[in-house]
Amino acid sequence: MKKIIKNYKSTLILLGSVLIGAICGLIFKEKAEIVKPLGDLFLNLLLVIIVPLIFFTITSSISKMNEKKRLSKILVSTIIMFLITSVVAVLFGFATTAAVDLVNPKDTNAIKEVFDNSIDEGVELNILERTVSVLSTDSFINLLSTNNLVALIVMSVLFGIAINKAGDKGKKVAELFDQFSEVMYKLIEIIMYYAPIGLGCYFASLVGTLGGTIAVGFLKTFVVYTVVCLLFMAIFYSFYAFISAGKAGVKAFWKNIIPSALTSIGTCSSAASVPVNIECTKKIGVPNDIAETTVSLGTSFHKDGSCIGSVFKIMFLVCLFGTSLSSFGSVAQVLGVALLATLLVTAVPIGGGTISEMLIITMMGYNVAALPILTIVATIIDAPATLLNVVGDSASAMMVTRLVEGKGWFKKENNTKKQSK
């Protein structure tokens, strides 16, 4: 019990501060706005570090990919596991949330006023013009704005590739960016010490202004997200196991996956669950080399829980601000942004969550003042998201084995194990 509390310490503190803030907002109502500047301070601290965080971390990550073997493994795992299973996760997440109002505010106009008309209702561009305007900007100075986040990401990737291609001459630059990245990680840690105060005050002001509807929305989001994750596990991971090894594969999957599932919930960390998850995956019948490779890479590059989480973050804002999703283009935008946001979480090990949330806000046309809302959503869904991320790696390992070893791999592995005994 003490170990679980220790692992969830920061999450519990954040949730506790948000709960206290909500209670204060309900009690003091409009008077709670007096603490809004303390919440704004937290928001400002996050916004200040976004641009350098993106530039240094993404550039550093790309510049270090100088081993062809490693780079090819990353590309293969991303294409096979991320694009296939993550698309399924995003579609399932959208299908299950489209018919549910995660938050149902009585007056969306009042909310827009609180966030300074958060939705950009400018001139509509065709898909090519919108793509170009999102991916690029006409000035380097404009890259240093949170309004051009995607363009900054593109330039960071290109800069990282350029450092990589520079060879020995680029090594010192790569090392410098790596050092800057470490400094940014430490800066995030320092800022997060203030998070309980900042989020508590922000939430007190928000609930005081908008009422208890948004607080109920967060609770509803957690419940719906948890149910969706459990459904996704039961349906799709059983299906993945079945197409990999038939009914026997499904039975072996659920028989052996419990330890890693419990570890993921207990530690709330995909990385901390790797040793247990590798062992569980081996017990399913996956060969040692495939289990070790797939689970290790999957920890960083395959996150079904984060995919569905990105959809929930977007849909929470959609419901909160009363945004219409009546056209095919708007639905495609939600799905595309969710996938791209999840890709950022996987590409940047520390701080990726904040970057992906900023990406969601900017690409969906909302005001950056809505960032703390997504921070709260991310906090409350963290445990079930980790569960799905971890268990999904084992299911993916079974599919990879099916592709590598052929149709009879499961019987072959079981026979080998029996003979070794």
> How many whole angstroms separate alpha carbon 368 and alpha carbon 357?
10
Give yes or no for residue 242 having a pLDDT over 90: yes
> How many whole angstroms separate alpha carbon 104 and alpha carbon 107?
9
Q: Which residues contact 128 (CB under 8 A, 6 or more apart)?
A: none
pLDDT of residue 333: 85
Residue 4 lies in a domain: no
- In single-letter form, the type of residue at position 157 comes to V
How do residues 25-46 score in pLDDT, each as one tens digit?
888 888 888 998 998 888 788 7
pLDDT of residue 169: 85
Residue 132 lies in a domain: yes
Q: How many domains does the chain have?
A: 1
Give yes or no for residue 120 having a pLDDT over 80: no
Give yes or no for residue 156 having a pLDDT over 60: yes
pLDDT of residue 176: 92
Give yes or no for residue 107 having a pLDDT over 80: no
What is the rounded average pLDDT for all residues in the chain? Answer: 78
pLDDT of residue 65: 62
Kindly tell me the burial class for residue 407, based on how many C-beta atoms sit within 10 Å of its own C-beta (0-12, 13-18, 19 or more).
exposed
Give yes or no for residue 420 having a pLDDT over 60: no
Per-residue HEC secondary structure of 355-368 comes to HHHHHHHHHCCCCH
38 against 144, higher pLDDT: 38
Residue 217 lies in a domain: yes
pLDDT of residue 74: 41
Rg for the chain, CA atoms, rounded: 22
pLDDT of residue 341: 80
Give residue 119's domain range: 17-420
pLDDT of residue 171: 87
**Which of 63-67, 151-155, 169-173, 209-213 is modeled with the greatest confidence?**
169-173
pLDDT of residue 232: 94
> How many whole angstroms separate alpha carbon 305 and alpha carbon 30?
36
The pLDDT > 70 percentage for the chain reads 78
How do residues 263-300 score in pLDDT, each as one tens digit?
787 667 777 678 788 888 888 988 877 787 777 767 76
Instruction: Classify 183 in phi/psi space as left (phi over 0), alpha (psi -120 to 50) or beta.
Output: alpha
pLDDT of residue 235: 94
pLDDT confidence tier of residue 239, bands split at 50, 70 and 90: very high
> How many whole angstroms separate alpha carbon 250 and alpha carbon 43?
46
Residue 9 lies in a domain: no
How do residues 312-363 score in pLDDT, each as one tens digit?
999 988 888 878 777 788 888 888 888 888 776 554 444 456 777 888 888 8
> How many whole angstroms separate alpha carbon 264 and alpha carbon 179?
30
267 against 246, higher pLDDT: 246
> How many whole angstroms separate alpha carbon 134 and alpha carbon 148?
7
CA angle, 300 then 303 then 257, to 5°: 100
Instruction: Classify 123 in phi/psi space as left (phi over 0), alpha (psi -120 to 50) or beta.
Output: beta
Taking residues 174-202, what's their average pLDDT?
A: 85
pLDDT of residue 73: 47
State the CATH number of the domain containing residue 77: 1.10.3860
Whose structure tokens read 């630059």?
A: 173
pLDDT of residue 78: 42
Cβ contact 245:69 at 8 Å: no
Residue 264 lies in a domain: yes
Give yes or no for residue 125 having a pLDDT over 50: no
Q: Which residues contact 114 (CB under 8 A, 6 or more apart)?
A: 206, 209, 210
> How many whole angstroms separate alpha carbon 211 and alpha carbon 29?
7
Other CB atoms within 10 Å distance of the CB of residue 219: 12
Residue 99 lies in a domain: yes
Residue 410 lies in a domain: yes
Residue 2 lies in a domain: no
Cβ contact 196:18 at 8 Å: no
